[in-house]
Structure 1
Amino acid sequence: MPHQAHPYVILLRAIGPATHRLMGMAQWREAAEAAGFMAPETVLNTGNMVADFAGDATATRQAMRVVLRGFGLGENVAPIVRRPALLETLIAADPIAAAAKDRPAETAVFFFASDKLDFAWLGDHDGPEKTHVVSDHLIVDFTRDVAKSSRLIRLIDKHCGLNTARSWSSMRKVAAKARDRATRQNTNAASGDE
């Protein structure tokens, strides 16, 4: 029996100018569609995609790894997969509202590949960054230029493993794309277009 298609948000780790030379966003959408991702849409230019896929999160991640390797991208360019409802949970929690509004470049949400995380180490972190854990995701108000927080970023990598971060404003844009997509799909289904 075939798997039902579900909407997913795919966030790529380690996307930047070097990877753009190997894989532009239009190329990524085309290759994803050829691999079974339905109507993939990218958001911004930083490796964010919303698409449906017939499989669970593990199968989705594996299929996207194959797509990425097809462009010659190394293992450091890794997909982290979430369901759109998770992003809505993070937005509803909104633990850094003032910072995200006033200093969006100094805020971030960290998405982790592992689902077995222990954030106890945060108890020893003495700032100046302000951290919040919401649904096993780390939300950080860096309070200053992110480049000055290399110690915290090293600790996140050490204790939490493979991860990718998005600014709060970027995460909200990805969530909005997923929300708009769901609305369009529901409208089409209601009108019998699908």
Structure 2
Amino acid sequence: MATSIPFYAILLRAIGPATHKLMSMAQWREASGAAGFIAPETLVNTGNMIAGFEGSSAEAGKAMTGVLRQFGLAENVVPVLRTPAQLKKLLRADPIAEAAKDRPAETGVYFFAARQPDFTWLNSHDGPEIIHIVEKHLIVDFSQDIAKSGKLIRKIDKQCGLNTARNWNTLRKLAERSIARGKE
């Protein structure tokens, strides 16, 4: 009996215009395929990939880190991996249903590299942002222009460690596509 290959959503941290000069999305897909990732597909915006990998999440993360270093990307550019099932749980939890529907660009989902980030500091958060914890993720209703929440964003980075964030629309698209890819 054949076993199915696990699929992962691979979210890059610290990717942007400076890194594009070192690695295009086409180069990333090609190098990922050469490193053992199966049918790598980038989508939605920069730094999002869905690919199969014959190995654990930790093994896939290590292999992807190797791919990124081949391009000379700095140590702060790290892959954060999630399974389709994990993304599906986040969508189903939907603790900010109204904000996700009415202001999806003003909602953020934070994905952490650490197995269990420290969220104890949230007890002293006094807004205006509304924050929910879903498993080891933070879902933030910024309720305003995200640029006005720099203090909170810096606090998340300092207190929780390496992370990358996506807005609710991106989460939804990544979840839908990764679930579909896992069924192919």
TM-score range, shorter chain: over 0.9
Residue aligning to 1:68:
68
Structure 1: distance between partners of 2:180 and 2:5: 17
Structure 1: distance between partners of 2:118 and 2:65: 26
User: Could you state the TM-score of these two structures normalised by the residue count of structure 1?
Assistant: 0.90
How far residue 117 of structure 1 moved from its aligned partner, in angstroms, is 2.1
Q: Is the 8 A contact 1:4 1:55 kept in 2?
A: no
Structure 1: distance between partners of 2:136 and 2:182: 24
Which runs of structure 2 are paired with 1:10-159 in the superposition (5 Å)?
A: 10-159=10-159
Secondary structure in structure 1 of the residue aligned to 2:109: strand
Residue aligning to 2:167:
167
Structure 2: distance between partners of 1:9 and 1:106: 22
Q: Is the 8 A contact 2:7 2:181 kept in 1?
A: no
Secondary structure in structure 2 of the residue aligned to 1:27: helix
1:1-55 deviation line (CA, Å, top 9, x unaligned): xx97311110000111111121111111111000000011111222111111111
How far residue 135 of structure 1 moved from its aligned partner, in angstroms, is 1.1
Gapped runs of 5+ residues in structure 2? none
Structure 2: distance between partners of 1:111 and 1:163: 5
User: Could you state the TM-score of these two structures normalised by the residue count of structure 2?
Assistant: 0.95
* Residue type of the alignment partner of 2:88: E
Bigger RCO (CA 8 Å, 6+ sep) = 2
| Matched residues, number | 182
Identity of aligned residues (%): 61
Larger radius of gyration: 1
How far residue 164 of structure 1 moved from its aligned partner, in angstroms, is 0.2
Q: Is the 8 A contact 1:9 1:83 kept in 2?
A: yes
Gapped runs of 5+ residues in structure 1? 186-194
Tell which deviates more after alignment, 17-26 or 106-115.
Answer: 17-26
How far residue 116 of structure 1 moved from its aligned partner, in angstroms, is 2.2
Structure 1: distance between partners of 2:158 and 2:182: 36
Q: What is the root-mean-square deviation of aligned Cα atoms in Å?
A: 1.4
